[in-house]
Amino acid sequence: MDTIVALASAQGRAGVAIVRVSGPCAWAVCEALAGFVPPVREARLARLRDASGGLIDSGLVLCFAEGASFTGEKICEFQVHGSIAVVGALLRACLACEGVRAAEAGEFTRRAFLGGRMDLTEVEALADLIDAETEVQRRQALTVMEGSAARVIEGWREDLLQSLAMLEAALDFADEELPPDLTGHVMAPLLRVRDSLGAQIAGRKASEAVRSGFDVAIVGPVNAGKSSLLNALAGREAAITSSRAGTTRDVIEVRMEIAGLAVTLIDTAGLREAEDEIERLGIERGRARAAAADLRVYLLGAPGEVAEGVEPEDIVVLSKADLWGQPGISAATGEGIGALIGRIAGVLQQRIAHSSVFNRERHFDKLARAAEGVDAALAGLSGGVGWDLVGEDVKAAIRALDGIIGRVDVEDVLGRIFSSFCIGK
């Protein structure tokens, strides 16, 4: 492969910038700029010079050996002062070395994948870690990067291969005496895989919500204090508030973190029979957005009001409690706001308790195909279908699982995955 170079830290002015070089010429670049190659994984201070001998900067030089680096190739990293001019001069000096070119978006990570340093789920988890906004997103990404998804798949694969081995033995030694309960021995691993697959697929919504965030809609009649509550939860004036009924005409969204979870709060238009066309459209849009939300907080505008269409986990609370002298919330005084946040957090945390280790649509598409293969194999065994046909169904399930971690059928997704990375990662 070519030797590639890119800024691995953030663009722009900073205290420190890291320029990474990966490929067969990486150490030659280090020799050319620093005048020496430091011992592996031992940072050394160096005065970095360009081809004409001009001083670029003083900084640390760190080298990694082939087979023991992020990409699996020889790597050299230069840690210099984070000046835009310094970084530019350093990159030009690296690119002036023979066999070196600028890296493309995600190319370092792509080389790590192609070199067997990471599987595809770990690559995707790295992208999620870089994009993580909350503590729970960080933990989810790290769990997958540690190989949790790969271990689950390997367990399924071992069971499927066990069944496949017995099926192929039945075909190869059809004329010889076989175990009396061969069908049961084939079915047992398939049943384990089916149940485990079902549990992971059932946790889809929760795991996807951890990655992308939960939607929490604030619903209620006009002038119930929905926008005031949104502002209180967000800690800023995100929505216009007024004593005039029907101020909110459209859906207003605010992104925030609750108990380590990414949450989008949705302020909807007040529910009433509106004659104004614009307000009516806002109410309809708000109803649709609230129905699609993961959780709804229904505000009661006065004691005795009844919330309609409430689902079991939705939260119903009396608004403007300071006016009524009854338990509830008050955006004006802050009464009950902390307790409401705790209730929202409790519901959402309960939902992620059984989330899947998989978190992308691509994963669940492959899991569904694997489940179809396993179900077809079990149906074939129960229906007396030939061993060879059952074996093909098991092989289809294995291929679907291999597609998740990148063993097969990944060329169509590689471009999309790596294009989401920044240059230098």
Choice between 271 and 189, residue whose per-residue pLDDT is larger: 189
pLDDT the model gives residue 224? 77
| 157 CB-near residues (< 8 Å, 6+ apart) | 398, 401, 402
Confidence of residue 244 (pLDDT cuts 50, 70, 90): very low
Stretch among 99-103, 238-242, 329-333 having the lowest mean pLDDT: 238-242
Binding positions for GTP: 223-228, 242-248, 267-270
The whole-chain average pLDDT of the chain stands at 85
> Nearest Cα to 127, choosing from 298, 362, 389?
362
The answer to whether residue 38 sits within a structural domain is yes
pLDDT the model gives residue 364? 94
Confidence of residue 240 (pLDDT cuts 50, 70, 90): very low
Stretch among 233-247, 258-272, 311-325 having the lowest mean pLDDT: 233-247
Contact (CB, 8 A) for 218 and 293: no
From 352, 376, 394, the end of a domain falls on 352
The answer to whether residue 411 sits within a structural domain is no
> 172 pLDDT exceeds 80?
no
* 224 plus 347 within the same structural domain: yes
> 233 pLDDT exceeds 90?
no
pLDDT the model gives residue 245? 45
The answer to whether residue 67 sits within a structural domain is yes
Give residue-wise pLDDT tens across range 264-298.
888 876 554 445 555 556 566 767 788 888 899 99
* 74 plus 171 within the same structural domain: no
Binding positions for Mg(2+): 227, 248
* 348 plus 385 within the same structural domain: no
Stretch among 74-88, 298-312, 376-390 having the lowest mean pLDDT: 298-312
Domain that holds residue 385: 127-209+360-405
* 101 plus 146 within the same structural domain: no
* 60 plus 15 within the same structural domain: yes
In this structure, what token pair is assigned to residue 379? 């149906």
Confidence of residue 372 (pLDDT cuts 50, 70, 90): very high
**CA distance linking residue 143 with residue 129, whole number of Å:** 10
% of the chain exceeding 70 in pLDDT: 86
Binding positions: 20, 77, 117, 223-228, 242-248, 267-270, 425
Give residue-wise pLDDT tens across range 398-415.
999 999 988 765 555 556
Contact (CB, 8 A) for 356 and 407: no
Residue written as token pair 């005065």: 47
From 56, 84, 117, the end of a domain falls on 117
pLDDT the model gives residue 273? 47
* 36 plus 138 within the same structural domain: no
pLDDT the model gives residue 385? 75
Strands 252-258 and 261-267: antiparallel
Contact (CB, 8 A) for 77 and 20: yes
Stretch among 62-76, 95-109, 161-175 having the lowest mean pLDDT: 161-175
**Per the structure, how many domains does the chain have?**
3
* 219 plus 346 within the same structural domain: yes
Kindly state the DSSP code that residue 39 receives in the 8-state scheme.
P
Return phi, psi of residue 47, to 5°. Answer: -95, 115
> Nearest Cα to 315, choosing from 338, 337, 289, 296?
296
pLDDT the model gives residue 303? 85
The answer to whether residue 421 sits within a structural domain is no
In this structure, what token pair is assigned to residue 245? 């009924």
E strand residue ranges, 308-388? 315-318
The answer to whether residue 424 sits within a structural domain is no
Residue type, 410: V
* 191 plus 256 within the same structural domain: no
CATH number of the structural domain spanning residue 70: 3.30.1360.120
Choice between 65 and 287, residue whose per-residue pLDDT is larger: 65
Kindly state the DSSP code that residue 379 receives in the 8-state scheme.
H
> 99 pLDDT exceeds 90?
yes
pLDDT the model gives residue 249? 45
The answer to whether residue 412 sits within a structural domain is no
The answer to whether residue 188 sits within a structural domain is yes
CATH number of the structural domain spanning residue 171: 1.20.120.430
> Per-residue DSSP letters for 84-144?
HHHHHHHHHHHHTSTTEEEPPBTHHHHHHHHTTSS-HHHHHHHHHHHH--SHHHHHHHHHH
**CA distance linking residue 262 with residue 128, whole number of Å:** 13
CA atoms within 13 A on the CB side of 136: 24
* 219 plus 348 within the same structural domain: yes
* 327 plus 371 within the same structural domain: no
Binding positions for (6S)-5-formyl-5,6,7,8-tetrahydrofolate: 20, 77, 117, 425
* 242 plus 330 within the same structural domain: yes
Q: Residues in the chain, how many?
A: 425
The average pLDDT across 160-180 equals 72
CATH number of the structural domain spanning residue 313: 3.40.50.300
Stretch among 76-85, 95-104, 309-318 having the lowest mean pLDDT: 309-318
* 340 plus 255 within the same structural domain: yes
pLDDT the model gives residue 311? 82
Confidence of residue 256 (pLDDT cuts 50, 70, 90): confident
**CA distance readout (Å), 157 to 64, 148, 190, 317, 397:** 34, 14, 10, 49, 9
pLDDT the model gives residue 248? 46
Residue type, 243: S
Give residue-wise pLDDT tens across range 2-40.
999 999 998 888 899 999 999 999 999 999 999 999 999
User: For the CA atoms of the chain, what is the radius of gyration?
Assistant: 29
The answer to whether residue 423 sits within a structural domain is no
**CA distance linking residue 403 with residue 167, whole number of Å:** 23
% of the chain exceeding 90 in pLDDT: 46
Give residue-wise pLDDT tens across range 385-394.
777 898 899 9
From 86, 117, 148, the end of a domain falls on 117
